[in-house]
Amino acid sequence: VGVLENLTSGSNEGSDRHFDAQGSDLLDGLFAREFDTKKCASRFHSSMIRGASPYKPSSYLISRLRDYEKLHKRCGPRTTAYDQAMPQMKSSSSPGSSECKYVVWISYSGLGNRILTVAATFLYALLTDRVLLVDPGNDFPDLFCEPFPETSWLLPEDFPIRKQFDRLNQKSAASYGNMVKNKQTGRLQSHVYIHLAHDYGDHDKLFLCDEDQKRLENVPWLIMRTDNYFVPSLFLMQSFESELNKLFPQKETIFHHLGRYLFHPTNPVWGLIRRYYDAYLAKADQRIGIQVRTFDTGNGPFPYVMDQILSCTQRENLLPKVDSRGSSVADQPEDPKLRAVLMTSLLLGYSEKLRDVYWQNPTFNGDVIAVYQPSHEEFQQTEKKLHNQKAWAEMYLLSLCDVLVTSAWSTFGYVAQGLGGKTPWILYKPENRTMPDPPCRRALSMEPCFHAPPYYDCKAKKGIDTGAVVPHVRHCEDISWGLKVV
Ligand code: GDP
């Protein structure tokens, strides 16, 4: 019987009572209690499967979140304050006084990237007293519950320039970077486009400088496009330093706490997660998540990636070695451990091979290895609803594993490790179609990597190695030029 059976059986009344009794402990006070338990079951049920996180949010973070919720309720869509701020969005006037300030997140890129950038943008909103509004894109409401009580984070459909989001890019004359480049910052309007996507230029990067933040402080509407987890650069800015230290005394827990606070699977996605977990993972003594994502061209599965998975998991003792001569049947221990491997990949080949290895050969220590893969979607299909629901369910299932092996460069894996609070082993990215040596290494922290950070000292106005400025912002294990908080 899986943990979830206890949760889903019995009357609603009984289960609601059960949650109320434990409600105050849910996510260590991370989220408010003014929610309907049935509209978004995952919000209440998830901590029952996950168990408590070993990382406690600071009381300061909790109080800032409660304050943020009040702000969002006062300034969110369909409020008087929102209606009052709207003309500032429409007009090309310079910033006037406005009760509420906003940062609008544009839906962009794969799901893992989107989850990370919403979290980064939310942290930016917290630090600058702005309200975060998310562009729903094709599927946001199908994937995530509302995180803030009695309001909505979804950008209303009639938002003035919503239909033009697709046209906002690095070249847009109205972007902050281009305004700086063309020396027009004296004429900043009441809405400014912030381009922080991977192709951003040196002038766009100035957004991550204290002086430029000062300039943008009174602009009521920032519209942001990003596919980068830019949090590590916020840690290099003096203006945010003391606040970040108070919010996150344990620095590597930023995405862990914010991710758990913000991203609750909707009931259909929770169904995908729950049914899979109960059917295949709940009974295991240990759950090992292996996320396989390759960026090589050509048709996989690639033999060097398979070798890498086997080499990493055996070398690091994550999975038992097998006796390929098959002679150890008689040595079975009385109480063998059942270890479930949850593999996620766009292709089926890797998990089939791993399953065969443990079917065709006995393990030396007698452990029983079961290998499962929920889907194999073959290629990325970001525009499809069920495809993204499966992707989200799989990231979440990985996050429920006790041990994680992830693929270099992949935000899909970063989401799983952060939500799960697990420091993964990272499979290095293969070069020249050969298995890397060593095949993997343990990450420095569970924080995601900022793939394209600026290399600029804003004060000295010259290039520097931003991975060598403070001890808690370092280069990533999987991308040498990236930055992560450790
Ligand atoms: P990244 O490209 O690895 O950084 O991760 P993203 O999530 O941003 O984009 C990859 C997209 O490809 C996902 O959102 C899914 O749509 C799809 N995808 C990649 N790997 C998997 C997988 O293991 N399972 C599923 N269901 N989808 C995947």
pLDDT in tens, 335-376: 899 999 999 999 999 999 999 999 999 999 999 999 999 999
Instruction: Let me know whether 304 and 175 are in one domain.
Output: no
Instruction: Let me know whether 205 and 351 are in one domain.
Output: no
CB 396 within 8 A of CB 265: yes
User: Which of 310, 316, 313, 399 lies closest to 356, judged by CA?
Assistant: 310
User: Which of 260, 265, 258, 259 lies closest to 64, judged by CA?
Assistant: 258
Range of the domain at 117: 59-247
Least confident of 47-51, 71-75, 329-333: 329-333
pLDDT at position 292 is 98
pLDDT at position 90 is 78
Of 247, 262, 297, which residue is a domain's last?
Answer: 247
pLDDT at position 47 is 82
Across residues 413-438, what is the average pLDDT?
Answer: 97
Residue with structure tokens 């889907």? 375
Q: Which of 380, 398, 411, 451 to mutate to test the pocket of ligand 1 (most atoms within 8 A of CB)?
A: 380
Q: How far apart are CA 267 and CA 279, in angstroms?
A: 18
Across residues 249-278, what is the average pLDDT?
Answer: 97
Q: Is residue 262 part of a domain?
A: no
CA of 108 to the centre of ligand 1 (A): 14
Q: Is residue 382 part of a domain?
A: yes
Q: Is residue 33 part of a domain?
A: no
Q: Is residue 423 part of a domain?
A: yes
- Cβ–ligand 1 distance for 227 under 6 Å, the answer no
pLDDT at position 448 is 98
Q: How far apart are CA 220 and CA 123, in angstroms?
A: 17
Instruction: Let me know whether 235 and 331 are in one domain.
Output: no
CA dihedral 357, 342, 301, 322 (to 10 degrees): -20
DSSP letter string over 310-354? HHHHHHTTSS--B-TT--GGGG--SS--EEEEEEE-SSSHHHHHH
Q: How far apart are CA 39 and CA 32, in angstroms?
A: 15
Q: Is residue 63 part of a domain?
A: yes
- Cβ–ligand 1 distance for 344 under 6 Å, the answer yes
Farthest-apart Cα atoms in the chain, separation? 82
Name the phi and psi angles at 175, rounded to 5.
Answer: -75, 155
Query: Given pLDDT bands bounded at 50, 70 and 90, which one contains residue 223?
Result: very high
pLDDT at position 430 is 97
Instruction: Let me know whether 240 and 302 are in one domain.
Output: no
CB 141 within 8 A of CB 266: yes
Residue bearing the CA closest to ligand 1, atom 7: 112
- The predicted model scores a pTM of 0.93
Residue bearing the CA closest to ligand 1, atom 17: 380
Q: Is residue 479 part of a domain?
A: no
Instruction: Let me know whether 309 and 424 are in one domain.
Output: yes
Tally of domains in the chain: 2
pLDDT at position 15 is 35
- Report the 10 Å Cβ neighbour count for 268: 13
CA of 110 to the centre of ligand 1 (A): 7
CA of 358 to the centre of ligand 1 (A): 27
Query: Given pLDDT bands bounded at 50, 70 and 90, which one contains residue 29?
Result: confident
Residue 349: C-alpha distances to residues 77, 313, 324, 373 (Å): 47, 17, 21, 10
The ligand 1 atom nearest the CA atom of 292: 23
pLDDT at position 382 is 85
Instruction: Let me know whether 122 and 202 are in one domain.
Output: yes
Instruction: Let me know whether 63 and 211 are in one domain.
Output: yes
Q: Which of 229, 384, 395, 412 to mutate to test the pocket of ligand 1 (most atoms within 8 A of CB)?
A: 412
- Cβ–ligand 1 distance for 46 under 6 Å, the answer no
Residue with structure tokens 């930023």? 254
pLDDT at position 334 is 80
pLDDT tens sequence across 124-182: 999 999 999 999 999 999 999 999 999 999 999 999 999 999 999 999 998 999 999 99
Instruction: Let me know whether 200 and 294 are in one domain.
Output: no
pLDDT at position 89 is 86
pLDDT at position 327 is 64
- Report the 10 Å Cβ neighbour count for 314: 14
User: Which of 379, 417, 378, 391 lies closest to 229, judged by CA?
Assistant: 417
Is a pLDDT exceeding 70 seen at residue 244? yes
Q: Is residue 226 part of a domain?
A: yes
The ligand 1 atom nearest the CA atom of 411: 4
CB 118 within 8 A of CB 262: yes
Q: How many CA atoms lie within 13 A of 8 on its CB side?
A: 15
Instruction: Let me know whether 90 and 234 are in one domain.
Output: yes
Of 231, 247, 263, which residue is a domain's last?
Answer: 247
The amino acid at 448? P
Instruction: Let me know whether 107 and 180 are in one domain.
Output: yes
Instruction: Let me know whether 101 and 194 are in one domain.
Output: yes
pLDDT tens sequence across 58-96: 999 999 999 999 999 999 999 999 999 998 887 666 666
Across residues 229-246, what is the average pLDDT?
Answer: 98
CB 397 within 8 A of CB 277: yes
Of 220, 247, 274, which residue is a domain's last?
Answer: 247
Beta strands in 431-470 (DSSP E): 440-442, 456-457, 462-463
CA of 251 to the centre of ligand 1 (A): 27
Q: Is residue 474 part of a domain?
A: no
Query: Given pLDDT bands bounded at 50, 70 and 90, which one contains residue 329?
Result: low
Residue with structure tokens 């606070």? 261
Query: Given pLDDT bands bounded at 50, 70 and 90, which one contains residue 25?
Result: very low
- Cβ–ligand 1 distance for 111 under 6 Å, the answer yes
Q: How far apart are CA 393 and CA 274, in angstroms?
A: 9
Query: Given pLDDT bands bounded at 50, 70 and 90, which one contains residue 31?
Result: confident
pLDDT at position 189 is 87
Instruction: Let me know whether 299 and 240 are in one domain.
Output: no
pLDDT at position 324 is 87
CB 106 within 8 A of CB 99: no
